[in-house]
Structure 1
Amino acid sequence: MCQLLAMNCNTPTDICFSFTGFQARGGLTDSHNDGWGIAFFEDRGVRQFLDTAPSAHSKVAELVRSYPIKSKNVVAHIRKATQGKVSLENTHPFMRELWGRYWIFAHNGTLVDFNPELDGSYLPVGNTDSEFVFCWIMQELRKQFGSVFPGTEKLFAALTELSKVAGDHGKFNFLLCNGSLLFAHCSTNLTYVLRKAPFPTVQLKDQDVTVDLSAQTTSEDRVAIIATSPLTHNEVWTDMKPGTLSLFEEGGISKTADTVVGVPRGLNY
């Protein structure tokens, strides 16, 4: 399956350490060879890197790994293709505009028989189920709320209902972010760690790298790392409950809701 990674913080932070472990899962410690991508929010802008090469062997990934871009929200994806050819247009994460903000989306899974009508306001460029469902989500939010951001409460409730609809068609682990709000939906596998003072010394699982986080942070910092599976050995990672949508803000979880209506099509539990 594809690999997801996200970071949500209360102060701009670089993701170099976590990305070093994550990068290895694209062709070194795991067999995900069909491209990768990462998006960094910087104020209202987005700095995005995409590559069709496996992340473990990508020169672009090496640049990202060694370039300490500071951001409060980051979304990354390593692809194992199930729908659509290996190409830049099919490489996650995807980006669209809504309510005057960029939105970034990355998906792990496959949706079966999910074919709602798109009205043309958002259309996929590639041919993946992931970009298609992202366009549908953006379309439905715009149809429901028009041109004005509805507020966090109403948005979370709407995304909960949309996750129920799409999640009924298969595996639907996803990350969705607008630069301040990070939504994470667990269909089968997603885990997170919340880092705050006192910060420990941690070791990656996928690379022989150890770092003292206390040397890079302050007592006020809060950092949430979300991943398909834990990136480090000696931290307490929490498995998200399958069939839940969580909202991360300022380095912590502010909301969680159930999204299960039944056994999703295409999944065998």
Structure 2
Amino acid sequence: MQSQVHRSLVSADNALMQQSERNPDGWGVAYFLGGAPHVVKSVSTAVSDEMFRRVSGVVTSETVLAHVRKATQGQLNILDTHPFQYGSWVFVHNGNIAGFEQIREKLLERISPVMRRFILGNTDTEVLFYTLLSKMAERCDLERRGYPLEDLAAAARETVDSICELAGDICTEDGADPVTNTFLTFVITNGQTMLAHQGGKPLQCSTHKQHCPERDSCPYFAPECERKVEGGFVSHLVFSSEPLMGDNVWEPMQPRQMIGVDWRMQMQRF
């Protein structure tokens, strides 16, 4: 797992480190140890930050969430750098809420008071995250390790609808202005349950490889590692803003589509 993570973050021709040249406003990596998320962030550009190389080289978690930032809202500081964390949940967002400053107070009113007080930064992403957490808390205990994937997907759908009600529908036009339009592409996980939403900004999904180079030595190798799965058990699930070079087979997600897995690695499409 360690070499695979390092390749996706650093070594591949279009790894996250290289993508940071187009997204220079900070980076963050969240990984899980002993069921708890560990989050490392920097406001430096990942391609020039030695800490990014060091972190990506030691990560051996089964669940990793990484992000390089191109700021549309907020400031260039640690508080406004992804991933965002609340308890066991971590969250990254690729997008923008149109007219955020004008509708920020109305958006905050839709977040539960218990959640609202934890918002420390100035980004639309943090408001989006806590809106989602509020919707999730209405359905199930947020610290339940096996948080139901169906409840997470329903909360995400309600969150997107609530944001769009004030900011306008998500934009799906190629080349559209990233600042004046609404894009709500995001990924959220607690290390066991994970959900991705394609909200206008491209998102790629991979559940298998053409041929796993470690098929003869990997103790977790299964037939699902080398064939497409529409639903049910998957050996791995990877999301990326663009296809990463390597052995993974990638498929583009469609606007408003959601894909996730639960603690049993049972995948569902919504």
TM-score with structure 1 setting the length = 0.75
Q: Which residue of 1 aligns with 2:187?
A: 175
Q: In the alignment, does 2:95 pair up with 1:109?
A: yes
- 1:10-21 to 2 correspondences below 5 Å: 15-20=5-10, 21=15
Q: Which residue of 2 aligns with 1:129?
A: 124
Match 2:199 to one of 187, 204, 210: 187
| Structure-2 change in CA distance of 1:129 and 1:239 (3 Å) | same
What is the deviation of 1:160? Answer: 2.5
CA RMSD of aligned residues (A): 2.7
What is the deviation of 1:215? Answer: 6.9
Instruction: Find the aligned partners of 2:217 and 2:23 in 1 and give their Cα distance.
Output: 31
| Higher relative contact order (Cα pairs below 8 Å, separated by 6+ residues) | 1
Match 1:139 to one of 134, 137, 142: 134
1:61 alignment partner AA? F
Q: Which residue of 2 aligns with 1:217?
A: 218
Q: How many aligned residue pairs are there?
A: 227
Match 1:120 to one of 83, 99, 113: 113
Q: Counterpart of 1:242 in 2: which secondary structure? A: coil
What is the deviation of 1:230? Answer: 0.5
Q: Which residue of 2 aligns with 1:266?
A: none
Moved more, 40-49 or 128-137: 40-49
Instruction: Find the aligned partners of 1:235 and 1:82 in 2 and give their Cα distance.
Output: 31
What is the deviation of 1:153? Answer: 2.8
| Structure-2 change in CA distance of 1:144 and 1:182 (3 Å) | closer
1:87 alignment partner AA? N
What is the deviation of 1:146? Answer: 5.9
Gap runs ≥5 in structure 1 = 1-10, 200-211, 258-269
2:128 alignment partner AA? V
1:109 alignment partner AA? G
Q: In the alignment, does 2:29 pair up with 1:38?
A: yes
Gap runs ≥5 in structure 2 = 168-181, 226-234
Cα contact 2:20–2:46 (8 A) shared by 1: yes
Q: Counterpart of 1:23 in 2: which secondary structure? A: helix
Q: In the alignment, does 2:49 pair up with 1:52?
A: no
Which structure shows the bigger proportion of residues in strand conformation?
Answer: 1
1:175 alignment partner AA? V
Instruction: Find the aligned partners of 1:148 and 1:80 in 2 and give their Cα distance.
Output: 31
What is the deviation of 1:137? Answer: 1.3
1:225 alignment partner AA? V
1:105 alignment partner AA? F
| Structure-2 change in CA distance of 1:145 and 1:171 (3 Å) | same
Instruction: Find the aligned partners of 1:66 and 1:246 in 2 and give their Cα distance.
Output: 28
What is the deviation of 1:42? Answer: 1.9
| Structure-2 change in CA distance of 1:172 and 1:33 (3 Å) | same
Q: Counterpart of 2:114 in 1: which secondary structure? A: coil
Overall identity of the aligned pairs, in %: 23
What is the deviation of 1:192? Answer: 1.5
Q: Which residue of 2 aligns with 1:81?
A: 71
| Structure-2 change in CA distance of 1:78 and 1:158 (3 Å) | same
| Structure-2 change in CA distance of 1:193 and 1:141 (3 Å) | closer
What is the deviation of 1:195? Answer: 2.7
Q: In the alignment, does 2:53 pair up with 1:62?
A: yes
